[in-house]
Structure formats: C-alpha cells, structure tokens
Amino acid sequence: MNAWGVRLSPSARHTVLIGSLFVIASGIAWMALGWMVDAQDYADPLHTLRHRILVLHGITAYVLVWMAGRLSNLHQQGNWRAHRNRGNGLLLSTTLALLAVSGLCLYYPPHEDWLASISQLHQILGIVLALLLPLHLLAASALRRLRMHPDNAR
Ligand code: HEM
Ligand code: HEM
C-alpha cells in the first residue's frame, strides 16, 4: 500500500496535519502579535519574535506546498475520480493554490501599491484554510463510518 495513496496512512496523515498546523498557527500568531506590537519600535522584543514567526511560516509553507504535491497524484485525483469528498476537497485544494500564489506575491508583488491588499487577501485565505481543513477531516471520518456501516447510507 502507498502511504500517500488515495487513503492516507496514519504517518502520512500526521505529517500533513502537523505541517498544516505549523503553517496555520504561525500565520495566526503573526496576525495576533500585530495587535500588540508597535511596528515602528524595532527595540520591542515582540518585533523580533514576530519576524522569527514569519520566517518559520515561510519555511513551513514551502513544506506544505511540497506535501500538497505529494497528495495530488493519488489522494486528490483518486478521490476526485471516485466522487468522494469532492466539494470540500476541491475548495481545500483551490484555497491552498491561492495561498501559494498570494504568498509568492508577498515576496514579489506585481506592484508595490498592491502589497497591503495581497497581504489581507492572503490572511483571509489562511483563515478559510484553517476552517476548511477540520471540515475535510469531519467529512473523511463520516465517509469511514459509512464504509463500516453501509446500512446508514440508506
Ligand atoms: C480534490 C481534492 C481532494 C479530495 C477529492 C479529497 C478527498 C478525501 C477523502 C475522500 C478523504 C477520506 C479518505 C478515507 O478515509 O476514505 C480524505 C481525507 C483526508 N484528506 Fe483529502 N481530498 C482532497 C484534497 C486534500 C488536500 C489538499 C489535503 C491536504 C491539505 C487533504 C488532506 C486530507 C487528510 C489529512 C485526510 C484524512 C485522512 C484520514 O483520515 O485517513 N485532502 N480526503
Ligand atoms: C500553502 C499555504 C501557505 C503558503 C504557501 C504561504 C506563504 C507565505 C509567504 C511566502 C509569506 C511571506 C513571508 C515573508 O514575507 O517572509 C506569507 C506570509 C504570511 N502568511 Fe502565509 N502561506 C500559507 C498559508 C497561510 C495560512 C494558513 C495563514 C493564516 C492562517 C497565513 C498567514 C500569513 C500571514 C499573516 C503572513 C504575513 C503577511 C505579511 O507579511 O503582510 N498563511 N505566507
């Protein structure tokens, strides 16, 4: 059996969830620190902490994109073809792709004036991802229950 197959092995599932948790938690922590820190005061230790959290976010985000690539072949395409969890899976994959593009635009903005808007869009998409992922897992466990007790489908 392939660990990163249509159904994920426990180790692949944990890897995806821990990777996602790091990206989501670091993004939210950066936003939360923004309310506490004075952006102009570079001596504020919270400023340094916020910067380090953003570095962690950038690194873990690359790892998550790599994981999404590993999921694409069997998990996403396989479940798509089998019509399983399609709606939520498509939304999740689209959100991830938009996050990757908007994240890239934060590094290389098409126009400097757009930076603040791209940042806001990226943050909204990040919160959407944080909401969609638990829904995806709930749908996955509902599917598993259905497989174990197919009579409930009627
Ligand atoms: C078109 C896209 C996708 C479809 C159709 C899809 C479909 C599914 C289905 C049907 C399951 C239940 C598997 C089972 O137990 O039988 C599932 C579980 C899961 N999916 Fe997706 N998925 C998609 C995209 C994604 C993406 C982008 C991620 C990662 C961010 C992801 C992460 C997971 C995880 C962690 C589980 C839980 C695995 C488990 O509990 O064994 N999926 N997905
Ligand atoms: C595939 C998923 C993601 C990718 C590829 C990604 C990528 C990036 C990149 C490259 C940056 C710029 C880092 C820097 O300037 O040093 C960034 C910043 C940021 N990301 Fe993400 N990110 C992802 C998901 C998320 C999520 C889930 C959240 C929130 C829950 C989030 C919130 C943020 C925030 C708040 C910033 C700082 C914005 C700014 O500098 O104006 N990101 N992200």
Q: Tokens standing for 97? A: 């792709």
Torsion, CA 81, CA 82, CA 84, CA 89, rounded to 10:
-20
Q: Domain count of the chain?
A: 1
What pLDDT score was predicted for residue 153?
Answer: 56
The verdict on pTM exceeding 0.75 is yes
- Cα of 83 from ligand 2 centre, angstroms: 31
Domain that holds residue 128: 10-153
- Is 148 inside any structural domain? yes
* Alpha-carbon distance values, 60 to 39, 44, 53 (Å): 24, 25, 10
The per-residue pLDDT for range 6-50, each reduced to its tens digit, is: 889 999 999 999 999 999 999 999 999 999 998 788 888 899 999
In a 10 Å sphere around its CB, with 0-12 CB exposed, 13-18 middle and 19+ buried, how is residue 131 labelled? exposed
- Is 5 inside any structural domain? no
Query: If you average pLDDT over residues 123-149, what whole number do you get?
Result: 93
> What is the CATH classification number for the domain harbouring 136?
1.20.950.20
- Is 128 inside any structural domain? yes
Q: Is the CB of 136 under 6 A from ligand 1?
A: yes
